[in-house]
Structure formats: structure tokens, C-alpha cells
Chains A and B, each alone.
Chain A
Amino acid sequence: MEKFYTRMGDGSVIELSESELKRDLEEGTRDAAERAKIPPLSEDDLRRLLEIYECPDKSVGVERGKEVILSYDSGTTKFNRANVSVSKLQSLQIYERMLGADTMEMGHMDYSYKPAKSIMWIEQPTLEQALLITIPALFYGAMPNLGLYTQPDGPCPNPMGLIPQGKISEARAAQEEMAEHAVKDMVYVGSVMYESGADGINFDTTAAAGDAEFLAALRAVEILRKKYPQMCIEVGMAGEFILGMHGELTYEGVRLAGLYPHKQVELMEKAGATIFGPAINTNTDKSCPWNVARAATFTKACVENSHLPIHANVGMGVGGIPVTETPPVDSVSRASKAMVEITRLDGL
């Protein structure tokens, strides 16, 4: 029986028969559909995915004419994280001239709005230089990262210390206070960088700390949109559903906890975001075909329910890509092709 080379979500190599591939694709899409109460992928979509995973080529690409925008987040931190000694400006030039970036992002190595606010005076001249030497749309970006507002790093009590003690109302109050601080920092950094010439601002890994963080991002988007009607505001998510760390927060009458991408994007659109990036986490105990079918199902429903351009997160640990420090090209190219051709998204 013919076997097809693929991987598990942790990057280890496995070989699956056609029937095993079909089973994983069907189970992956079913899992997403049941969780988010959305339609599973169609028979045609599953057949296309099967073709992608049965293709013997090491890497695959999208058909001519189906190319999408390549937008990179956290751009100026990634080379350094891989121990490549390049400056921010050099990183951006590499993205532009070697990696085919359509949009790029500059950010501080600490990559959170809280620490970024205190170094805006250093970031401004670097941004100016970057704007002078590159052409693609340039964002400034960081994570809302609500965790940084808890003691001992910040002013608020740590809800994760309070919740296990049963101090739920205190934990909720702390999260609401953390969100207020985060909104101020996001609006401040967004304003400074936009007024310095950035084409837009990116809120990356939004809602990593749950529903309070998602609310903070919504409010910051709302304020920035009113302040700067032409500003491009991209919001990238941390995971497929919003963790209910608070549980009772709402926006426009909608409870935030438990929202899946097709509902997250509705609220971000109302708040005034310009681009939305769903993030579907990779399950390391399942195969890449399972993960990609699942990610494509969530993302397709998000695309179909959105008036905003959708730039899905397809990178290490999200969008069907294995959790490995250097994701293998066979998995990355297959996940990218699948997301583009199945979900009809606008960018990666």
C-alpha cells in the first residue's frame, strides 16, 4: 500500500496511507465544525486537501493567479531570535528584497506595548530610516500582553493567583484594571508611531491572556480609529477561541469568552480594525493533515463571515504548521497552499 510522507504537529515524520490521510482530514474538519458550530469543509475541499498531501513534491505552491499578500508580523525580532546578527533596518530590507514581503512590521525585541511605550523616542528615528529605505507598507507592532500588568511586573494583583483561591470577583476586577492600562499603552504607541509615519499598527497575539485582553484590543482599536480615520489597524489573534479568564466581559452586547474566529472578526470590524488575522493552534498529538483541515475549517468560516481582509497566522505552532523552532518546508508550503486555496483568504 502506498504511503505518503507527512508529519505530526510536533514535526516528527510519519507516513500515512490514503485512507489514513482521508480519515485525518475528515476528523480535523469535524473537530473544528463541532467546536465552533460552523460548516465542515466540503467534499471538494477535502479532495483538494488530499491532493496536496499526496503530492510527492517536497514543497508545493499555489496555482498561478492565486497568490496572496504576504504580511509578516514581529519582523524585526525573528532574525535575532534565530541568532542572526542583523539590525532592525537590515531585517526589514531582507523581508522586502529577499522574502517577498508585501507588508512588514517593525517592533521592539520585548515585543509588548508596555515596554515599547518607554522607548518610543528610540523607535521613532529607526522607523523614519526604515520608511526611507523600504517600499512595502510598514507597520509598528507588539503584543497587548496583559500579563505584564500584574504584580510584581505591573500594578495589578495577579488574577491567576486569585482565581485558584476562589477570589473570583477580585480576579475579575484585576483583569478589568489590567485592560485599562493596556488600552492606554496601545493607544499611546499606536498614535506615536502613526504620527511618525508608520502605515499602520498591529496588535499581535491578541487575547493570549483571555477575554480581558481581547476587550482591551477592541477598545484600543475603537479609539485609534476615531483618532485616525485613515490608519491601517491589523489585529492578529493568539488562539482559535477566546479563553474566558474573566468570563463576563462583553462588547456591543456580545460575551467575549468562547468566541471563535468567525465571531471575533465581527467585533473587530465593528471596533474599526482594517485587517484581521485568525490564529488556529496546532495540536502536537495530531498529524499535519488533521491540523490543516481543522485550521482551514475555522479560517474559511471566518473569511466567509468577514468584510475585512483576512491574513491568517500561518507560522510555527499555528495554521497547521508544526511546533518546531524551524518549521519544515514540506509542512509550511502545504499548510500555506491549503489555507490560500481552500479558505480564499487575502493574506498570510
Chain B
Amino acid sequence: MDKEEILKEARKTIIDADKGKAEETAKRAIAEGMDPLEVINKGFRAGITEVGDLFGRGELFLPELILSAEAMKGAADILTAALPKDAEKRRGRVVIGTAQGDIHDIGKSMVVSFLQANGLEVYDLGRDVEMQKFIDKAQEVSADIIGMSALLTTTMSGQKALIQELKKAGLREKYKVMVGGAPATQRWADRIGADAYGIDAADAAKKAMELLGEG
């Protein structure tokens, strides 16, 4: 099996949500002397991107997405362990939750699944979360990104308040802030000074990877 075939196989194992085959392909790539990062990015991550696209089209469903994410994680663990020590990169860390007063967590939980599927370390604070908890958790785990979701026009102001609080605490430059949810738009994100807005779960994961310089 040549390099291109291994990359193609890696992509397919994720679309098929076949964890066993994904891990087997990761091991084969290492045995063939391939660059582990290239296999992750051009093979497995290409697969998870396609899974996200199929999910967005209603052609693949949440349970299948989770199985694909598990297959991705299995393969990524094997490949990451094979990286030279000096090249080993810390996984991006995201703290996420819904704004205080907002109990709608379906969208946020889907974003969590997509972020995990892309190999990020996600700290899900759940729903109806006090603003300070986002900041405290981000500080505790040295997060890269804080994500806040809001389904209601009455709770989306929490996104603005988070950014203002980060500024007040002198922490704005330390974290990237992502916002999302039904009433949020790119215009809203620009107006409140957020770093990114995700129109849906797949887009949120894409933007998170871009913020981390891995898009």
C-alpha cells in the first residue's frame, strides 16, 4: 500500500466509523515511515471533515458522528505517540458552555462532539453557566479557546459580558473567544469583539482549528 492509498484508507476508516481499522491504518502508516502529522491532517482529519459535511446535510447522524470521533481519537493517539518528543504538540484546549440563563444545550453539545472529533481537549461546563466559571475553568486548564453558546436573544448578551470581563481582568489576549447559537451572527461576533463565530457545529470546529493555526 503506497502513501496515497494509506491516506485514502485513513479517511475512509473515519467515514465508516471503524475504530479497529483506523488504529490498524495508523500503525501501518508508522511502519511505512510516514510523517504522523501528515497522516493525521491529510488522512484522518480529512475524513472527519467529510463526516461533518455529511452531518450538516442530514446524510449522517449524531451517533455515527460520535463513533467516527472515537475512531479518530484511537488513530490520533497512536500517531501522536509516534511523534518525536520535540515535535509532540499539545492538543488545543477548549472550555465551552451555554450562557447563564440558557438551558438549551443541543447545539452546544454538538459543537463539543465536533471539537472532540477534531482531536481537541474539550471542557464542557454544561448549560446555564455563570460567566465567571468560564474564566475560572479556562485559567485552571490553560485553555486556548473559550466558547459560549446562546439560543436566546435574552442570553446572548452573556457573550458580550464575557469578553468585557476578560478585558477587565487583563485576560483578553490570553484566550480566543468563540460565540454561537441561533441568534448569534458574524455581525454580532464582530460587534462584541469575538474572535470567531460558528454558524453550525461543523463550522465551529473548523473555526476553532483555524484559531489554533491548524485549519
| Residue from B58, B116, B126, B182 in contact with A258 in the complex, judged by beta carbons closer than 8 Å | B58
A160-B116 contact in complex given A171-B63, A247-B61, A257-B61, C-beta closer than 8 Å:
no
B20 at the interface (CB under 8 A from A): no
Can you name the residue of chain A whose Cβ is closest to the Cβ of B67? Answer: A168
Chain A contact residue count (CB 8 A cutoff) = 39
In the complex, which residues of chain B have a beta carbon less than 8 angstroms from the beta carbon of A8? 187
Q: Is there an interface contact between A10 and B187, defined as CB atoms closer than 8 Å? A: yes
A163 at the interface (CB under 8 A from B): yes
Tell me the chain B residues, 96-124 only, with Cβ under 8 Å from chain A.
103-106, 109-110, 112-113, 116, 124
| Residue from B57, B64, B106 in contact with A147 in the complex, judged by beta carbons closer than 8 Å | B106
Q: Is there an interface contact between A166 and B66, defined as CB atoms closer than 8 Å? A: yes
Q: Is there an interface contact between B60 and A153, defined as CB atoms closer than 8 Å? A: no
Q: Please name 10 further chain A to chain B contacts, defined as beta carbons within 8 Å, in addition to the given A147-B103, A171-B63, A247-B62, sorted by A numbering.
A: A10-B186, A164-B116, A208-B106, A243-B61, A244-B58, A244-B62, A247-B64, A258-B59, A284-B186, A323-B185
Q: Contact flags (1/0) for A235-264 with B, using CB distance below 8 Å?
A: 000000111111110000000011110000
The DSSP consensus for interface residues of chain A is: loop
What are 7 sample pairs from A and B whose C-beta atoms fall under 8 A apart? A10-B187, A161-B109, A164-B112, A164-B116, A257-B58, A283-B199, A317-B182
A163-B185 contact in complex given A257-B58, A325-B153, C-beta closer than 8 Å:
no
Tell me the chain B residues, 39-70 only, with Cβ under 8 Å from chain A.
57-64, 66-67, 70
A35-B116 contact in complex given A160-B106, A163-B63, C-beta closer than 8 Å:
no
Q: How far is the CB of B81 from chain A (nearest CB, A)?
A: 21
Q: Is there an interface contact between A10 and B185, defined as CB atoms closer than 8 Å? A: yes
Q: Contact flags (1/0) for A157-197 with B, using CB distance below 8 Å?
A: 01011011010100110000000000000000000000000
Q: Is there an interface contact between B61 and A153, defined as CB atoms closer than 8 Å? A: no
Tell me the chain A residues, 323-337 only, with Cβ under 8 Å from chain B.
323, 325
In the complex, which residues of chain B have a beta carbon less than 8 angstroms from the beta carbon of A342? none
Alpha-carbon separation in the docked complex, A161 to B67 (Å): 15
Q: Is there an interface contact between A153 and B103, defined as CB atoms closer than 8 Å? A: yes
B183 at the interface (CB under 8 A from A): yes
- A-B pairs with the 5 shortest C-beta distances? A244-B61, A241-B58, A247-B61, A258-B58, A160-B109
A17 at the interface (CB under 8 A from B): no
A12 at the interface (CB under 8 A from B): yes
Q: How far is the CB of A197 from chain B (nearest CB, A)?
A: 33
Alpha-carbon separation in the docked complex, A212 to B70 (Å): 24
Q: Contact flags (1/0) for B167-187 with A, using CB distance below 8 Å?
A: 000000000000000110111
Q: How far is the CB of A159 from chain B (nearest CB, A)?
A: 9
Alpha-carbon separation in the docked complex, A210 to B67 (Å): 18
Q: Is there an interface contact between B57 and A284, defined as CB atoms closer than 8 Å? A: no
Q: Is there an interface contact between B186 and A164, defined as CB atoms closer than 8 Å? A: no
| Residue from A11, A163, A283, A323 in contact with B109 in the complex, judged by beta carbons closer than 8 Å | A163
Q: How far is the CB of B170 from chain A (nearest CB, A)?
A: 31
In the complex, which residues of chain B have a beta carbon less than 8 angstroms from the beta carbon of A242? 58
| Residue from A163, A241, A283 in contact with B66 in the complex, judged by beta carbons closer than 8 Å | A163
Q: How far is the CB of A140 from chain B (nearest CB, A)?
A: 24
Q: How far is the CB of B78 from chain A (nearest CB, A)?
A: 18
Alpha-carbon separation in the docked complex, A114 to B109 (Å): 23
Tell me the chain A residues, 91-149 only, with Cβ under 8 Å from chain B.
147
In the complex, which residues of chain B have a beta carbon less than 8 angstroms from the beta carbon of A317? 182
In the complex, which residues of chain A have a beta carbon less than 8 angstroms from the beta carbon of B66? 163-164, 166, 168
| Residue from A153, A158, A243 in contact with B58 in the complex, judged by beta carbons closer than 8 Å | A243
A51 at the interface (CB under 8 A from B): no
Q: How far is the CB of B54 from chain A (nearest CB, A)?
A: 10
Q: Is there an interface contact between A209 and B185, defined as CB atoms closer than 8 Å? A: no
In the complex, which residues of chain B have a beta carbon less than 8 angstroms from the beta carbon of A11? 187
A168-B63 contact in complex given A35-B57, A283-B199, C-beta closer than 8 Å:
yes
Q: Contact flags (1/0) for A78-94 with B, using CB distance below 8 Å?
A: 00000000000000000
In the complex, which residues of chain B have a beta carbon less than 8 angstroms from the beta carbon of A248? 63
Alpha-carbon separation in the docked complex, A321 to B16 (Å): 37
Q: Is there an interface contact between A163 and B62, defined as CB atoms closer than 8 Å? A: yes
Q: How far is the CB of B131 from chain A (nearest CB, A)?
A: 21
